[in-house]
Each structure stands twice: as C-alpha cells, then as structure tokens.
Chains A and B, each alone.
Chain A
Amino acid sequence: MTTKTAPGTRTRARRIARRRLRVTRDTTVRRVVGMLLVFAVAFGGVLYRLFDVQVQRADYFAEFGERQRERTIDLSARRGRLYDRDGEVLATSIDAATIYADPRAFRPETLENGLVKPPAADPVRTAAALAPLLGREAEWIEAQLTKDAHFVYLGRQLDWELGEQILSLQVDGRPVSGLGRIVEPSRVYPGGGLAGQIVGFTGIDGDGLHGLELQHDSLLKGTPGTLVFERAGSGLQIASGTREVTPPIAGTDLVLTIDREIQHKAEAVAEQLLLDYDAAGAGIVVLEVGSGEVLAMASAPGFDPNVRAEYAPDLWRNRTVTDVFEPGSVQKAITAAAALEEGVVTPETTFLVDDRYRVGNKTFSDAHDHPTEEMTFREIIETSSNVGTIMVAEELGDQRLAEYLDRFGFGRASGVGFPGEAPGLVLPVDQWWTTSLPTIAIGQGVAVTLLQSADFYATIANDGVATQPRIIRGTVGDDGRLAPSTPASTTRVVSNETAQAMQDILTGVVHGERATGKRAAVPGYLVAGKTGTARKPLADARGYSGQYVASFVGFAPADDPQIVVAVMVDEPYPIWGGVVAAPAFSEVMEFTLRHLRVAPGGRAPTIAEVLDAADRAKADAAAQQEGPATAPDAPASPPVGDAADPAASSPQDPAGEPAEADPDPAAEDPPDGG
C-alpha cells in the first residue's frame, strides 16, 4: 500500500534534509580549518623554538648540553721509576689516599622555616675516632671539622689501606658522613735513605724538587691524558654515548749507573767513619774505570727522602758533587803526571830533599822532620813529600802546571749531570802569585769535588784517557728493556806511558816500603792510590782553620784497573788520610771487587791447594778448641794465593797510631791565602 504524501510536505522535508546536510558540511569544514589552525600555530611554535635553539642561541644550548651531559676526567700519567743498574727500584709511585672533610656536615643547619637541622655527624666524636688513625691531635681534627668552610684536608697522601679504614669508620654505629677521599699519587723510596741524596725527592704535587728527580723531571713526569664521556642523570656513563680517551703517556723510567749493593756499602762505611773518627761528614765515590759510570756516591750524614721533613735541608745535598774541598796530597798525582808527561822527571830522577823549603816569604815543610836526603821521584810521591813535590813543580813551571790542571778538568763541572754540581775552584794562571805554584802543587789553594778527584784518578787508571763520568745508564724502552744512553765522551789527557808510570808509582804508595797508604791494601789485589790530609780554609776569612780533611783516592787492581774509590772525611780525629780514609777505601774497594766478581791478581790456586787450605783451616779450628797453640795475632792459615799477593806480604799496621801516617801537607805551615 502506498502512502501518498502531499507535495508540499515532501518539498519541506527535502529542504530540511538539504539544510541539515549543509550544516554538517559547514561544521566539518570549520573543524578541519580549526584543527589546521591549531596545528599551524603549534608547528609555528615548534619552528620558532627550532630557530631559537638551532640558530639564535645555538652556541648557548650546545654548551649547556655538553656541560650537562659530558664529563671530562683528567688521567694522571704515572711518574717514571728510577732503577739502579740492575733494575732494582730506587723510586716509584703508588696511589695514596688524601682524606678531606666537608665541615657543613658537622654543624647544625637552620632551615628556611626556622627549624634547626642537627649535624649529620658529631664533630667531637668523629675527631676522637679519627685521631689515632690520622696520627693527629683530636683537638686539631675537631677544629678542622668545625671550620667555616666547605672543604678541609685532614690528611694528605695517606696509606691506601688507612684511607679505606677511615672511610669505613663508624661513630655511634653509623657511618660518618662528610668525609671523602681523593686519589693522589705518592712518591716512595723503598730503600729508605739508600741513595737518597742522589735520587732526591718530589713535592706533594709530584714535581721533582731535588736530586735526579729534579734534574730529569720533564722526562719522569710524562704527559697527562683525558677521558671524555657522556653521563646520565645518575652520573653513570651512557653506554651508547660518546667516549673519547686521550691516554696518558707514562713518564720515562730511568736506569742509573748506581749499584744498590755498593751504594749501601759505601753509605754504611761513610756513616761508620762519622762514629769512629767523630767527623763532621764523609763522602765516598765509586767509579768504574773506562766507562765513567758512577757505581756509588755516598754522603754522610744522609737522609731518608720518605720523611725528608725530619732532616735539616743541609743533609739533602749530595756533597760528593756539590761541595768542594782542598784535596791536599791527593793532588800530587796530577803534579807528578804533568812532570812525567813533560819529560821533566822520570820515576827514578833523584832530588836532594830537605824537610823545609822556602818560597817567597813562606816556608813549606814535610810532615815529619828529616835530614836532607836523596830521594827519587817515586819516593817523593810514595812518602808524600811536600818539599820534593814543590821542587818538581818548580821545574815544571806555572804555565805547564796550569795547563795540566785544565786538561784534567780542574775548575769545570765533570758533566755527570747532577743538579748543583760545583765546578771546583782554581785561579787562572795570570792571577797566580809567588806561592801559588808550590801551594797548588801540593793540593792547597785549589778546590775540587770528590767526584772530580775520583775522575782524575780514573783518567790515570784508564791509561791516560779521561771518560766523562755519568750517572744515567739509560732509559727503559717500550719493549721494557734498557735503552742505553749515549756513551760518555773520552779525551786523552796524558800518554799511555805516563799513565802506566803513574800507576806504578801510586802502587808504591800502598805497597812500597815507605808507603803512606798501607791501610788501603786489599788482600789478594794490587792497589794504587794516594793519601791526602789537607787543612780546611776559613769559611769567612783568608787563611786556614785548625780543621782538616782526610782523603784517599785510588784504584784496583793496579795491574788491570777496574774500579776507582775516593774517600773524603771532613774534620776527623785523628786527621791523617792514611789512617782515617785509607781503611775505609780498603773496605769499600774489597766489597766492590768481590761484588763485581773481579778476579784477584796473582796465580790462581789449584783445587788441591784449596782443599789443602780447607783441611788446614779445619785442623786449626780443632786445635784452637783445645787451646791456643799459636800467637793470637798470627794467622792460622794464610789465604790461598797469598804467595803472589804483595798486600799480604806487607801486613797492615794495627789501627790507631799513625806511625807511618801520611806525612802530608802543609799541616804545620799551610800557606795563607790559598
């Protein structure tokens, strides 16, 4: 059935529908336009911000972002180690704990609302707990903790374990807040005072301040590196973030020429000299002939660089290279070598020698009165006659003596490469006056370091060729092995013949009939050397004091020189070099030769002889247990191989009385003004 609708009604319905459709379309369009506008505004905002961030304030935001994200850590370079010639550590660095406190944690805090927040830790109890660990007074620690500051040091470069102990400290059952640790490298010297004056020390910031630590600071300290990484808000590194490492370059390790064992022996002997002879100081230098390598340089009294503040700064000096002294008769070897080289004398040239000799207005004398006697040049040196040496020097003349002093290096630093090395003192020849020649010829009026003295004798021992002494053997290469330093330069000073003649004459000083240096003998070896006993000049005026410097410089084995040892004792009693310094020389030389496995001279013993000697020693020991059958001083069994040992054939005098002591110098009438 069809429903009929009036035409008017249908038209109205269509009109309504059309209107509704129009309304719907308009609404949609409006909404779309509205949304577009919103998006356009939002997008515009974004664009503006983008422009602002990327263009307008790009630098600021870039820096801000980096600051917020990036962290840079300085990577400290390990300071190079110092080794002795065999790779034994003389100086190294370890991490130490520096403990600090933030005093804000130890005082009450007033909040904005007026309430008072109690301190996080009690300063009094914390100080009491820290005192035994830090080794400080509790009052001092408490004062530090209650300072009006944000940061105070409580202890610097403490032992690492001690730092751990402090950080885990509990007071009233709670961990102490407000304490922190900074890792700092600390320089340590495991040998304590061993070679302290050579090695020197660094400051608390790791910079070299003294000795070789100062001299080679730039080489030792290396180059610090950096680590740059991105971190999250928690402080942790962002794994996918950037990480740039500039690795630190470790400092170079230095290998010294010093032999730790010989250095220890030299230091022990030097310290003993102070005790035995009530001396103000003592120095010992051991040199290797040919290479110029310094095996030991000992100065007593010494100091421990680990606790240097406990010692007077005066003791920090390596006095064997920084201090000079008048060498006395030790110098006569130079005068003698010059005279031989110039052909002025031969070892057998004879002189008529009195015990007094006048030059200008000064009278020089020998140490002991003696009648005028005929002496060979060899005997003059053996007996250390001042008068005889002056007579030889007069034949040599000013100019030639001055020339040889220069050739031997007087007045110039040895070049060993040690900070503060003294060049010595010698007047230019044009400033010499009447008594200068005799004065200088017998070792007064000039001043040298102990190292220079040793170097002069090393030249004679090395057949007349001077080798520049050195203390750096090399560096440790990237492969961990020794990279030797440049070989020392050499210069011929006197001819081989002159040097051989001097070696022979100086052997007589120790092994000759009238020898002054018998106490320097080393059983089993031929030793050559010269005693010295020199008056000390006044420190602040012309003339000489009543104090003396005793010395002995020599080498061994005299028939094939390997080692030079120089000993100097400052203000000893008794004063004689042959009594005080020669035995010390013998002790150090014997140890050095044995340590370096230098074979004794003379005929090598056979196995049968060794076994026979052992049997006799055993029999003697058994006999001694039953009762003394022989005189107490008689040797029970002579050392094997002594037959060829000149030292053994001239037994040493008992220590004490200077019966044949160095009849040295100007002791009685030293020239003034030297």
Chain B
Amino acid sequence: MSAVPAILRRPARPATPAPARGERHLRVVRQAKRRHTLAFVLGVLLLTAGVVFAAVSLNALAAGDAVRAADLERQVLDAERRYERLIAQVAELENPARIQQVASEQLGMVPATSPRYLPVSRPLPADGYVVELLPAGGATEPLKPLISAEK
C-alpha cells in the first residue's frame, strides 16, 4: 500500500508544464516496488521449522543412543554379575568336602590305601616342571587361570 494518496497520482503526463512562477516544485513519487512479504515470511518459517526439526531429530537420535548405551551398560553389569556368580559356583563345586562326599556316596569310591611310589627319571608336568616349557615371559607361577580376566 502506497503512502501517496490516489488523488496525487497522475496517470499520464504528456507534457510537463512549466511551473508557475512562485509555485513550489512537486517531486513525482513513483509507486513503490511491491515486496514479496508473504514469500519472505514463509521462507523464514520454513527455515525455522527445518532448524527445529533438525534439532529435534538430533535430540531424538541422541536420546535413542542414550537408551542404547543404558541398555548396553545394563548388559555389561548383568554379564559381570553372572561372571562373579559363576566363579563362586565353580569354587563351590570344587570344594574338597563336596567332591569327597560325591565320590564316596554317589560313586562308591574309597580312599586309596597302601600307595605305591614309582619315581620316574623325568620330571612330570604335575611336579611343576611344565613352567620351564613355557615361552619366555610366560607364567612364573603355576597359578590357575585365575585371575587374568579380572583386571
């Protein structure tokens, strides 16, 4: 909407008459070029919507990752918990008192008496000599696999 009243508009001016003496000069105001306001507003809205959508999407992805991370952490905890319980169970099953009970009561075994000894000329692995066969940097103590998965 132009700020110039319609009455001041001069649609056609074939010849500009010379201003009368003493008359003030009037400048012709051209009609302002029409701006595409609607397109601009729509563009801004679209851009804003795009930015918002991108931000929300990123947040949603991040939240999804957080859920997955939490789930993985829970799985790790469960696995660790299970590992600890298995260690305890193995030790329980290896308990000499239990083995003795199973051997005597379920398998009918009796303690060995009158043992015979037969020294052999070569050391046996059970005598701890297996350690010497290990490659350099190997175990120096024949401890069980203990321990290694722990730390």
Q: Which residues from chain A sit less than 8 Å from chain B, CB to CB?
A: 13, 17, 20-21, 24, 83, 86-90, 92-95, 160, 188, 190-192, 194, 232, 236-240, 250, 253, 255, 260-261, 264-265, 268, 476, 478-482, 484, 523-524, 594, 597, 599-600, 604-605, 607, 610, 613, 639-641
Contact = CB atoms under 8 A, between A and B. Distances in A.
Contacts of A524: 115, 117
B91 A607 contact: no
Interface of B: 3, 5, 7-8, 62-63, 65-67, 69-70, 81, 84-85, 87-92, 94-97, 100, 114-119, 126-127, 139-151
A92 B88 CA distance: 7
13 contacts: A86-B143, A89-B88, A236-B67, A238-B66, A239-B62, A476-B146, A476-B147, A476-B151, A480-B148, A481-B141, A482-B143, A604-B117, A641-B117
B87 A594 contact: no
B96 A261 contact: yes
A481 B87 contact: no
Contact of A95 (B84, B117, B150): B84
B116 A24 contact: no
Contacts of A236: 63, 66-67, 70
Contacts of A599: 117, 119
Contacts of A253: 147, 150
Contacts of B91: 88-90, 92, 190-191
A89 to B, nearest CB: 4
A13 B148 CA distance: 103
Contacts of B90: 89, 190
Given A95-B84, A610-B116, A239 B63 contact: yes
Most buried by A among B65, B81, B95: B95
Given A17-B5, A190-B95, A94 B85 contact: yes
A240 B97 CA distance: 54
A597 B127 contact: yes
A610 B70 contact: no
Given A237-B69, A240-B62, A478-B151, A610 B84 contact: no
Nearest to A90: B91
Nearest to B145: A87
Given A92-B88, A95-B84, A640-B116, A237 B66 contact: yes
A481 B147 contact: yes
A255 B97 contact: no
A460 B118 CA distance: 30
Given A476-B147, A480-B151, A92 B87 contact: yes
Contacts of A478: 151
A473 B130 CA distance: 21
Contact of A264 (B96, B117, B143, B150): B96
B95 A94 contact: no
Contact of A88 (B7, B69, B81, B144): B144
A95 B151 CA distance: 18
A476 B139 CA distance: 13
Nearest to A255: B143
Contacts of A610: 116, 118
Given A87-B143, A191-B95, 11 more contacts: A17-B8, A21-B5, A86-B143, A87-B145, A90-B91, A160-B81, A194-B97, A236-B70, A476-B147, A481-B146, A640-B117
